[in-house]
Chains A and B, each alone.
Chain A
C-alpha cells in the first residue's frame, strides 16, 4: 500500500508552508492557484482517485486504545526547560491553541508534579482519615467505589498559570502563557460522605490533604470548603485518572488553585487550625510590593484568553471571515459575559458563549468577524456571575507589584500583523 502523505510533515507543517506562501505572495497567490486548478480541470484531490478511496484501511483490531490522527502530531503538551531546575518537579502546558469546546482530552491535560509521577497499583492504594474524628478510618479503592457518586465538570488551573508574564510579555503562545489549565468531567465521591463516615468532631475546622508520592504533597483546606463541593475523584472524562493526574485517586477542590487538588491522595487529617505546610508558606503565597505576602489565596480569579488567533495559531487564510475563539473561567461561578476587542481595548464587542455554562468550568466563546487585513490588538475580558470583571495586567501590578508569581488573571493582548502573524505583547 502506497501512501501519498508524508507522516513526517503532518497538518501544522503543511499549513505553515501554505501560510508562508500566502504571507509572501498575498491573496494573489491563492487566487492564482485556484485558477490553475480550474484550467487543468479541477483540484486533483477531487479529480484523481486518492489512496484512501481505493485501498482498505485498518481493521477494528488495529487500535484497542485509539490515538489521535498522525496529522495532529503537533497537538501535544510542551514544557519550558528553563522554568525549573529539573523535569521531575516541574510543569508542562496544555495546547490550548489547538483545542476547542470546553473539555480537555485526558492525554493533553497539563502536568505539575513535585516528585514525579507516582505509579500505584490501585489494589495497593489506601486512603486514611484521621485526626479530630470519632473513628479514624482506612478505605481501599474498592470501598470508595461503593459510595454514591457525582459527575462534575471543573477547570483545574495551576496557581502559577500566567505567572511568567507578571513582569511583561515573555512567552510567545497561549499554550505557554495560559496552558496550566484543563477542564474535564470528574467522577467521584463527595468528600463530605467520607468525612461523615469518620465523624468530624466539633473542633475540626481544617483538613490536611496529603499525597502518596515522593513529595507527599500536602495542603490545608478549610472544613467549610471540604464539606461543600470537594470530590474524591477516580475518573476523568469517563475513564480512570491518568497516572500523571493522580491515579488512582485525587482530590478535586472546585474553583481553587490547582496545587490543592492533591494527587495520589492517601490521607485526610482533620484539625483545628491550618498546618502551614511548605506549599502554603514558601510556595503558593503571593508577595506584594510592600513586602507583605498573602497566604491562603485559594480561589482562582475570573480570567479568559483568546486561543485563536494566537502566536501558535496565526491567521493563514487572509482577509474575510475570521473566527476569534477563546476560553473563560472563574473560580467563583459561571461566566456571564466575555467582551472582545480588536483595537487594544478602545472598543469592545460582546462575544458569544457557546456550549455548556457550568460553574467553575471552562466556557468557550467566539467572536465572528470580517477581517479587513489590518493590524489588530486582540483582547478578551471575562465577567463572572458575581459581577467580577477580569482586570488588566497593569491594574493587577498597581495593586500587587510584579513579584506575586501566582494568580495572574490579567487581560492578555495578542498583536496580529497584516500577514496574520501573532505575537504576545503588552499595550498602553
Chain B
C-alpha cells in the first residue's frame, strides 16, 4: 500500500520498474550496459530496417529518411534527419529500442540497438570508421551536429502577440481584397460527398 492520502495502489517491485522504465536521457542516464559496432549494425539494418528506411537510411517511399540532409534546414524543403536535425543521440537509442522495427517493437536486444545506433552514426558521416564500437561507456561523448539549434518557446515575443493590441475593425485594407492562393488549383483533397471536386 502507498503511504499517500488515499492509501491506494501498491509498491512497484524493482523488476517491474526495470521492465518498463527503458527511457534514456541526453546525459546517458538510463543506458543499459552493452555495445555494438558499425559493421554489426549494418547486418541488422539490412535485415530489419532497410525495407522501409532504405539501404543507406535514404527512406523508401514515404517512410522516414534517417540520414543526409545536412545543411538543408534553411532550404525551401528541409530534409530533417538524425544527422541534419536531431539534437541528441540518446533519442536514437531510446526510440529504436522503444518502438522499432515498426510492427515488431521491443524485439531488438540492447546490443542490437547499440550496433544500429552506431550504423546510423556511420550513415550520417558522424563516425567514419566501420570498426567503430558504440557502448554505454563512450555514448555520452558523441554529439549530434544540430544540438545547439534548439531554442525555447518564444512565440509570445512575436509582433502579432504584442500586449494590448486592439485589432482594426473597419476600413482595415485600402482596396478590394485579392485572392492570392486557391486550394482547388492543387486539387489534392480526397474525394467524397461534399467535396466539390468529386
Same complex: yes
Select from chain B the residue with minimum beta-carbon distance to A137. B9
- How far apart are the CA atoms of A144 and B9 in the complex, in Å? 8
B88 lies within 8 A of A170 (CB) = no
Residue of B nearest to A400 (CB): B158
Q: Mark B1-15, 1 if CB is under 8 A from A, else 0.
A: 011111011111000
Q: Does A81 sit at the interface, judged by CB under 8 A?
A: yes
- Residue among A12, A136, A146, A293 making CB contact with B6, cutoff 8 Å: A146
Whether B149 contacts A292 by the Cβ 8 Å rule is: yes
Which A residues are in CB contact (< 8 Å) with B186? 169-170
Q: Which of A170, A277, A395 contacts B188 (CB 8 A)?
A: A170
| A227 proximal to B (CB < 8 A) | no
Question: Which A residues lie within 8 Å of B33 (CB)?
Answer: none
- The answer, among A114, A193, A282, for a CB contact under 8 Å with B80, is A282
Residue B37, interface by CB 8 Å: no
Contact B160 A266 (CB under 8 A): no
- In-complex Cβ contact of B168 among A208, A218, A276, A348 (8 A): A348
The reply to whether A294 and B194 contact each other, CB–CB distance below 8 Å, is no
> Who on chain B is nearest to A93 by CB?
B190
Residues of A within 8 A of B172 (CB): 345-348
Minimal Cβ-Cβ distance residue in A for B63: A85
In the complex, whether A355 has a CB less than 8 A from a CB of chain B is no
Write out the residue numbers on chain A whose beta carbons fall within 8 Å of the beta carbon of B6: 146-147, 193, 197
* B189, chain A: closest CB distance, angstroms: 4
Which residue of A135, A314, A381 is within 8 Å of B196 (Cβ)?
A: A314
Query: In the complex, what distance in Å separates the CA atom of A348 from the CA atom of B173?
Result: 11
Question: B9 contacts A291, CB within 8 Å?
Answer: no
Contact of B183 among A170, A299, A314, A343 (CB under 8 A): A170
Q: Which of A278, A290, A343, A427 contacts B178 (CB under 8 A)?
A: A427
Provide the residues of chain A in CB contact with B158, threshold 8 Å: 391, 395-396, 399-400
* Docked-complex contact A136 and B155, CB < 8 angstroms: no
B contact residues around A171 at 8 Å (CB): 183, 188-189
- Assembly CA distance A343 to B172 (angstroms): 10
- CB contacts (< 8 Å) of B16 on chain A: these are 128, 138
Tell yes or no: A296 within 8 A of B by CB: yes
A415 touches B (CB below 8 Å): yes
Within 8 A of B (CB), among A76-104: 78-82, 84-85, 88-89, 97
> Does A292 contact B102, Cβ atoms closer than 8 Å?
no
Residues of B within 8 A of A426 (CB): 179-181
Q: Residue of A at shortest CB range from B88? A: A276
- Complex Cα distance A134/B179, Å? 61
Q: Are B12 and A128 touching (Cβ within 8 A)?
A: yes
Tell whether, in the assembled complex, residue B23 and residue A277 are in contact, meaning their CB atoms are under 8 Å apart.
yes
Stretch at the interface among A31-39, A235-243, A417-425: A417-425
Q: Tell whether A363 is near chain B: CB-to-CB under 8 Å.
A: no
When each residue 44-57 of chain B gets 1 if its CB lies under 8 Å from chain A and 0 otherwise, what string results?
A: 00000000100000
Contact of B105 among A144, A215, A287 (CB under 8 A): A215
Chain A contacts with B in 166-189, Cβ cutoff 8 A:
168-173, 176
Contact (Cβ within 8 A) A130 B12: yes
CA distance A173 to B158 in the complex (A): 29
How near does chain B come to A21, taking the closest CB pair, in angstroms?
16
Query: Closest residue of chain B to A130, judged by CB?
Result: B17
> Given A16-B194, A197-B2, A339-B169, are A278 and B8 neighbors across the interface (CB < 8 Å)?
no
A343 surroundings in chain B (CB, below 8 A): 177
- Residue A371 CB within 8 A of the other chain: no
Is residue A50 contacting chain B, with contact meaning CB distance below 8 A?
A: no
B170 CB to closest chain A CB (Å) equals 5
Task: Check B23 against A269 for contact (C-beta < 8 Å).
Answer: yes
Complex CA–CA separation, A310 to B165 (angstroms): 29
A281-B91 in contact (CB<8A)? yes
Residues of A within 8 A of B87 (CB): 276, 281
Docked complex Cα distance between A130 and B17 (Å): 7
Q: Is the CB of A275 within 8 A of B25?
A: yes
Measured CA separation A84–B169 after assembly (Å): 40
Selected contact of A136 from candidates B17, B82, B179, CB within 8 Å: B17
Q: A218-B98, A278-B94, A389-B160 are in contact. Are A197 and B196 (CB under 8 A)?
A: no
Q: Which residues of B contact A392 (CB under 8 A)?
A: 160
A123: shortest Cβ distance to chain B, in Å? 16
Contact present for B164 and A78 (CB under 8 Å): no
Interface string of A116-154 (1 = CB under 8 A from B): 000000000000111100111111000110110000000
- Chain A positions within 8 Å of B, measured between CB atoms, are 12-13, 16, 74, 78-82, 84-85, 88-89, 97, 114-115, 128-131, 134-139, 143-144, 146-147, 168-173, 176, 193, 196-199, 208, 210, 214-216, 218, 266-267, 269, 271, 273, 275-278, 281-282, 285, 287, 289-299, 301, 311-314, 339, 343-348, 377, 381, 383, 387-389, 391-392, 395-396, 398-400, 402-403, 407, 415, 421, 423-428
- Report the 5 A-B pairs with minimum CB-CB distance, sorted nearest first: A344-B177, A197-B4, A391-B160, A424-B183, A85-B62
28 of the cross-chain contacts (CB-CB < 8 Å) are A13-B193, A74-B193, A115-B102, A128-B20, A136-B12, A137-B10, A139-B8, A147-B8, A168-B181, A172-B195, A210-B20, A269-B23, A287-B73, A291-B149, A293-B151, A343-B177, A344-B173, A346-B171, A347-B170, A348-B168, A389-B167, A400-B158, A402-B76, A425-B180, A425-B182, A427-B177, A428-B177, A428-B178
**5 more A-B contacts (CB under 8 A) besides A197-B2, A389-B165, A423-B182?**
A147-B8, A168-B181, A285-B150, A426-B180, A428-B178
